[in-house]
Amino acid sequence: MKNGFLLGVALTALALASAPAHAELKFKPGEDARFHWANLDDLKKFDLKGETLTIFGPWRGEDEALVRSVLEYFVEATGVDLKYSSSENYEQQIVIDTQAGSPPNIAILPQPGLIQDLAAKGFLTPLGDDTAAWIKENYAAGQSWADLGTYKDKDGKSGFFAFPYKADVKGLVWYSPDNFEEAGYKVPKTQEELAELEQKIVADGHKPWCIGLGSGGATGWPATDWVEDIMLRTQPADVYDKWTTNEIPFTDARVVNALEIFAKIATDDKMVDGGAAAVAATDFRDSPKGLFAVPPKCYLHHQASFIPSFFPEGTKLGQDADFFYFPAYASKPELGTPVEGAGTLAMITKDSKAARAFIEFLKMPLAHELWMAQGSFVTPFKSVNTDAYASAALKKQGEILATASTFRFDGSDLMPGKIGAGSFWTGMIDLVGGKPAADVAADIQKSWDAIK
């Protein structure tokens, strides 16, 4: 799901109050073996009494409560006066604050494009080559994560500015284990096996997929995730990178091929519940419901890790619903096991001793485990105790990250807003409406050319 839209689904009131001093800790230090409690002693070397640390992030509502529960351990160990804030329009607010010369010490954002803008204007403090090297060594697919945190400064020089913290896994295929067992279907391990499964489901008189692209003003975005996943499984990662920056245009045959692969599924009435006409008309939140109908209306649903929020009430993950990762091609072993996702990155927007200490905190397993244990958090950090994950589903997603050969950020989120949250979305509606992939690609490319 597109980051800006997802955050907008659960808007809450402006949250500017500081975290309460010495609030009750969620987990009592030393009593739960899942956590690296020794990290608390490591933190105590940062004596920050009398210092104030301001952190501005995207988390509100339930997520704000979760991040505050993690931050409280940093407060407890260092004595810092920590103030966390967010905003309904956090993307605009951080731009206003940095330009006005009143930024927070730490800004945490999920949009690489916005981070690049901040770096290019000189609003970010470099975290140093040593931190980039740390990421390469300690994160699975570490080079990918180090690259994600690297941006050009106001002089055009590349530097490591953004520390990845809290990832989201995309490219999950959801299914009902009971339906699979009853029909005699097996989870595919390759794209070739997935194609065979699709044909078997069709031969049995059923529909393989439920797909819904409806999302109000953001209609079309779920299809961009499909195309991005297909690009990563049909082309090397550097081709994907060049595509997201338009070094390779949408009209390139490799991109058109990805559009065509998706179109062959989404426009085939035998492949999709409700037929091609239902794809654009069905809201993405309603689209997975066909998995749970009796009899099932479909057997597969492609969506990111957040989609269980829209499953029928009482659905138990791992029992009533499960997922497998959208697999790689057996015929393309050179492409490895790429993973697409999203996530948040922490930056220093106002340098201070406390800000530097906070980045060091993020290098500690404890900073990850405390959120892992409460849900909605996965990490590529290899040193965390994976038993800390709050559920088997999250642990499974963590394993997907841990075994990735490369990680790539959501492609449309890397593109300019007029493309990634504009013509790419509308182009996908045209595509499922029957417009040839080459024509759709040409239309999207025209909109990109217009902003150069």
Task: Report residue 52: phi and psi, to 5°.
Answer: -115, 135
Q: Which residue has the tokens 């965390």?
A: 384
Give me the amino acid identity at 302: H
- Average the pLDDT over 92-111 and give the result: 96
Per-residue model confidence (pLDDT) at position 166 = 96
- Average the pLDDT over 226-237 and give the result: 98
| pLDDT band, residue 123 (cuts 50/70/90) | very high
Per-residue model confidence (pLDDT) at position 10 = 34
| pLDDT band, residue 2 (cuts 50/70/90) | low
Residue 4 has pLDDT above 80, yes or no: no
Per-residue model confidence (pLDDT) at position 452 = 67
Pair of tokens at residue 249: 């245009």
Residue 197 has pLDDT above 70, yes or no: yes
Residue 291 has pLDDT above 50, yes or no: yes
Q: Of 222, 213, 204, 210, which Cα lies nearest the Cα of 174?
A: 210
Q: What is the DSSP string of 291-336?
A: GGSSS-S-SBEEE-TTGGGGSPTTPPBTTTBEEEE-PPPTT-GGG-
Q: Provide, rounded to the nearest whole percent, the portion of the chain with pLDDT above 90.
A: 92
- Average the pLDDT over 21-35 and give the result: 85
**Each residue's pLDDT tens digit, 350-383:** 999 999 999 999 999 999 999 999 999 999 999 9
Q: Which residue has the tokens 């807003």?
A: 417
**Each residue's pLDDT tens digit, 60-96:** 999 999 999 999 999 999 999 999 999 988 999 999 9
Per-residue model confidence (pLDDT) at position 21 = 42
| pLDDT band, residue 172 (cuts 50/70/90) | very high
* Three-class SS state of 367: helix
- Rounded CA gap, 144 and 399, in Å? 16
CA distances from 107 to 84, 257, 375, 385, 415 (A): 10, 38, 22, 27, 21
Q: Of 263, 168, 273, 250, which Cα lies nearest the Cα of 223?
A: 263
181: Cα separation from own chain's centroid: 30
> 90-99 and 112-120 helices cross at what angle (nearest 10)?
10
- Average the pLDDT over 259-267 and give the result: 98
Residue 11 has pLDDT above 50, yes or no: no
Write the DSSP symbol of residue 423.
I
Per-residue model confidence (pLDDT) at position 24 = 83
Instruction: Return the CATH class of domain 172-337+413-449.
Output: alpha beta
- Rounded CA gap, 250 and 273, in Å? 29
Q: Global pTM?
A: 0.90
| pLDDT band, residue 20 (cuts 50/70/90) | very low
Q: Which residue has the higher pLDDT, 358 or 2?
A: 358
- Rounded CA gap, 164 and 345, in Å? 4
Residue 1 has pLDDT above 90, yes or no: no
What's the CATH number for 3-169+340-409?
A: 3.40.190.10
Mean pLDDT computed over every residue of the chain? 93
Task: Report residue 448: phi and psi, to 5°.
Answer: -70, -45
Q: Provide, rounded to the nearest whole percent, the portion of the chain with pLDDT above 70.
A: 95
Per-residue model confidence (pLDDT) at position 328 = 96
Residue 14 has pLDDT above 50, yes or no: no
Matching fold, domains 3-169+340-409 and 172-337+413-449: yes
- Rounded CA gap, 376 and 69, in Å? 14
Domain ranges of the chain: 3-169+340-409, 172-337+413-449
- Rounded CA gap, 123 and 119, in Å? 6
Q: Of 338, 39, 380, 366, which Cα lies nearest the Cα of 171?
A: 338
* Three-class SS state of 407: strand
